Amino acid sequence: TENLIKDLPAPNVEVFCLHGSGVDTTQALVYKKGEFPGSDPSKILKGNGDGTVNYRSLIGCTRWANQQTQPVTHHEFPGVDHLQILRNEETAAFIANLIHNINTQTRKQRAVRKKKILLKKMKYQHSSGRANQSEIIHFSFLNHV
């Protein structure tokens, strides 16, 4: 599969890569000559991963950090397996915190955009002589916030 994804381009969106680690995971299946296909492997090599996906694949998303301007957030949850990642209290709290931070940031960005639009409108109305006294006071207040 390495050749299938080696040229996979970065998605150019903010990425949150969260996964378990430190769980025995199949890394390779070793077959003796004549065993494949038709029989079980002679040896199963285990290594780090989340019990389903090996570690090397789990951290594949980190290469995008150098390929795009948007942030790539990577976080491991030691001892959490592939199926438990969404049921684990620590991961659920981590994801809830991410969502809260994104929502807070989005609200702040919207407020700044609204302020800029209002200021632009007020400057136009003031320069054209269309602003009334309360709008001028409001405009003055916004410029000092």
Active-site residues: which are they? 50, 82
Give CA–CA dist 145/130, Å, rounded: 23
Give CA–CA dist 43/26, Å, rounded: 10
Q: Nearest-CA neighbor of 82 among 21, 27, 5?
A: 21
For residue 19, give the amino acid letter: H
Phi then psi dihedrals of residue 118, to 5 deg: -65, -40
Residues composing the chain: 145
Give CA–CA dist 95/102, Å, rounded: 11
Q: Nearest-CA neighbor of 61 among 51, 50, 73?
A: 73
